[in-house]
């Protein structure tokens, strides 16, 4: 996942494309073999091959959701240095370099075409990108018959500054959410998203910090991948648009964020990744992931842009886990936390505020101060966790 596929994943296609509109077949590439029958899917496995060839090996209409973080084609012009002289660890890998926009567009159409074929009629696709590539990807999506449902702005709470001072600080990335057709009955768990956001409709601008702290994967003290995405981002995407047991495919699997989150949320996954070093990291990471469980994520966030903390944020980031029990201070009432940040009590479900009011037969309730969680032998108000989260995400 992430912006994490090696140039070797696609250069076999790109090098044979000389002009706009050329297909792999016209360029001399033999079409990849496709599965003629709906056979057994390679669930919870990494297909260690080119992403287009990997998808071409899968049956038609076999996948519920695709999350794609393709190369952004950043077109970087030389090294970048901070004011004090240190060099910025920018994305300058070969897999993010294309000879022309025409080559990039042909690559984009190739993987989007296979993605559309393997999507179920009511499936959906997510693709993330920056201003360098997302508009080109969006045009290709529409040309191929996808129906765009939303564009989501992921606003980074702690973006990298513009060190040269020549442009606005690039503080966001864009996600496109699309169905296979205009009439598709795609999955959208509206209530889960509203619960996750403290009973307010989830908006199309999401404020989350970039991946850092304990979540950032490293090998020998060096980032395992330069553009690892935060698990909270995939948690929200998957919780919103898939159901337990669904099959989620990631054509650019990288270090396996999609697989790890899918395992936590009870979804099956398929990854496509040719680079051995990424596959090794991903396999170790997913093997260590526990369903509906993970360690607390320590991230950095600018206090000036710090968002309101919803209860669902504590669940997304692992401060509380689905299945944890909350109780009133006198221990008389107990409710369980669910994956979408809602509580369930005697068959009734709702936000921390709604269930708090229900158990007391009261018109309203401040759930942050009413509900307590168990910390060892002690009971502490969940508001303490909110404060802990805020402190942990300060720069």
Q: What value does the mean pLDDT of the chain take?
A: 81
- What integer pLDDT is reported at residue 227 of this predicted model? 67
**Helix H or strand E segment including 350:** strand 348-350
What is the per-residue pLDDT for 302?
33
Which whole-number Å values give the CA distances from 168 to 88, 162, 163, 171, in the listed order?
18, 7, 10, 9
The reported pLDDT for the residue numbered 88 is 41
Give the chain's residues under pLDDT 50. 1-38, 78-82, 86-88, 90-91, 95-96, 293-306
What pLDDT sits at residue 270? 98
Q: What is the pLDDT of residue 99?
A: 76
- Listed residue (202, 196, 208, 256) closest to 67, CA to CA: 256
Give the model's pLDDT for residue 161: 75
Distance separating alpha carbons of residues 141 and 306, to the nearest angstrom: 33
For residue 210, the model assigns a pLDDT of: 82
Domain boundaries, the chain: 45-74+87-300, 306-392
Q: What is the pTM of this model?
A: 0.67
Q: How far apart are CA 61 and CA 121, in angstroms?
A: 7
DSSP string, 210-244: PS-GGGS-EETTEESSTTPPPHHHHHHHHHHH--T
Residue with tokens 């897999």: 95
CATH class name, domain 45-74+87-300: alpha beta
Would you say 126 and 175 are in contact if contact means Cβ atoms under 8 Å apart? yes
Rounded CA-CA distance 312/341 in Å is 4
How many other β-carbons are positioned within 10 Å of the β-carbon of residue 43? 9
pLDDT (0 to 100) of residue 11: 42
DSSP state of 22: -
CB 258 within 8 A of CB 234: yes
């Amino acid at each position: 996942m992430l912006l994490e596929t090696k140039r070797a994943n696609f250069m076999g296609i790109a090098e044979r494309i000389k002009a706009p509109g050329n297909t792999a077949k016209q360029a001399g590439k033999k079409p990849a073999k496709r599965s003629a029958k709906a056979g057994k899917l390679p669930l919870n496995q990494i297909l260690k091959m080119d992403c287009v060839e990997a998808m071409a090996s899968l049956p038609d209409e076999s996948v519920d959701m695709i999350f794609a973080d393709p190369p952004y084609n950043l077109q970087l012009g030389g090294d970048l240095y901070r004011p004090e002289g240190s060099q910025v660890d920018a994305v300058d890998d070969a897999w993010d370099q294309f000879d022309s926009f025409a080559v990039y567009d042909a690559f984009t159409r190739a993987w989007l075409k296979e993605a559309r074929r393997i999507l179920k009629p009511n499936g959906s696709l997510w693709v993330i990108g920056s201003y360098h590539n997302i508009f080109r990807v969006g045009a290709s999506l529409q040309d191929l018959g996808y129906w765009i449902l939303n564009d989501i702005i992921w606003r980074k709470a702690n973006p990298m500054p513009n060190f040269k001072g020549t442009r606005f600080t690039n503080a966001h990335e864009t996600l496109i959410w699309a169905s296979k057709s205009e009439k598709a009955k795609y999955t959208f768990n509206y209530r889960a998203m509203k619960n996750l956001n403290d009973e307010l409709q989830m908006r199309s601008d999401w404020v989350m910090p970039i991946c850092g702290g304990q979540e950032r994967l490293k090998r020998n003290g060096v980032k395992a991948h330069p553009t690892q995405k935060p698990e909270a981002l995939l948690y929200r995407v998957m919780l919103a648009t898939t159901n337990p047991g669904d099959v989620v495919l990631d054509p650019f699997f990288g270090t396996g964020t999609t697989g790890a989150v899918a395992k936590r949320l009870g979804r099956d996954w398929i990854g496509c990744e040719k680079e051995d070093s990424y596959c090794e990291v991903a396999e170790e990471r997913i093997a260590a992931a526990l369903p509906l469980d993970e360690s607390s994520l320590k991230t950095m966030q600018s206090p000036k842009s710090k968002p309101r903390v919803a209860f669902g944020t504590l669940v997304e980031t692992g401060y509380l886990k689905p299945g944890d029990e909350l109780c009133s201070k006198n221990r008389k009432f107990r409710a369980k936390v669910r994956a979408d940040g809602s509580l369930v009590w005697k068959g009734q479900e709702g936000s921390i505020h709604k269930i708090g009011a229900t158990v007391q037969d009261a018109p309203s309730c401040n759930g942050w101060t009413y509900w307590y969680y168990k910390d060892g032998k002690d009971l502490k108000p969940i508001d303490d966790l909110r404060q802990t989260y805020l402190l942990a995400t300060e720069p």
